[in-house]
Amino acid sequence: MDLGLGGRGYLLTGASRGLGFATARALVDDGARVLVSSRSADAVDAAVASLGGAPAASGVPADLGDADAAGRLVAEAGDRLGQIDGVLISVGGPAPGSVLRATEDDWRAGVENVLLGPLRLVRELVPHLGEGAVIAFVLSISVRQPIGHLAISNGLRPGLAMTAKALADELGPRGIRVLGLLPGTIATDRIAEIEAASGDPAGARARTEAGIPLRRVGRPEEFGRIAAFALSPAASYLTGTMIAVDGGMSRAL
């Protein structure tokens, strides 16, 4: 199936590695142009080189937790991509911890990074989007069920998901789609770090896989292909929905 991505331009945040990079890879492989960003300039440069460089890929370092980052990102996207056909908004996960042990500072930092940073980017971006454009948020399966020891994510991700749902209502009459992607356990660097922090990475992986119907963690490219489809014109009637990419882990419908 032709996804219709040829020549289209996409902005991706948090895309120097992991799920964002996997999505950029899938988009570029299907003919799209991408502007990737993340906090680290070195990581951005490495990602752009891996994607083949210009004209298919370019990059800019940016931290959505910085109040000025959204405006700079949108300006760069306009300059480098011309027309912005879509955005994949991904931010780093908030600090781990239980509800009672997470500090107020951790919660405030989570609100800034998980909620306010993405919303600032959306506000800056929307005036530049035309009919057929799409906004996709990388969220978490914690939108549907809590994940142990990730209380802040459990609290904030569902709020951003409902915000995305409301945004789909607001932007739908303009032909702009809005949706969320809910990754389960995908084999990214962050998952490896969480497993290592447990003190028994192999045991942690085995316990995780036992709770997944497919009995394995996902591969980044599996997420990337689904995200690329959701961002493409082939998914033109898909909006206001949350797409679980979790191997069946979620028990919710």
pLDDT in tens, 168-197: 999 999 999 999 999 999 998 888 887 887
Domains and CATH numbers, the chain: 9-244 (3.40.50.720)
Of 62-71, 194-203, 233-242, the range with the lowest mean pLDDT is 194-203
- The per-residue b/e assignment along 130-139, b for 16 or more CB within 10 angstroms, e otherwise, is eeebbbbbbb
Tokens of 106: 């951790």
- Sheet bearing 86-89, strands edge to edge: 57-61, 33-38, 9-12, 86-89, 134-138, 177-183, 242-245
pTM for this predicted structure: 0.95
Write out pLDDT tens, residues 148-161: 889 999 999 999 99
- CA–CA separation, 58 vs 26, rounded Å? 15
Write out pLDDT tens, residues 200-212: 989 989 999 999 9
Q: Are 187 and 217 in contact (CB under 8 A)?
A: yes
DSSP 3-67: ---TT-EEEESS-SSHHHHHHHHHHHHTT-EEEEEES-HHHHHHHHHHTT-TTTEEEEE--TTST
**CB-count exposure of residue 224 (10 Å: 0-12, 13-18, 19+):** buried
pLDDT band at 132, cuts 50/70/90?
A: very high
What average pLDDT is seen over the chain?
94
pLDDT, greater one: 241 or 198:
241
Which residue bears the tokens 């040829």?
A: 6
Write out pLDDT tens, residues 103-123: 999 999 999 999 999 999 999
Closest to 98 (Cα-Cα) out of 162, 143, 153, 141: 153
Closest to 242 (Cα-Cα) out of 166, 167, 199, 180: 180
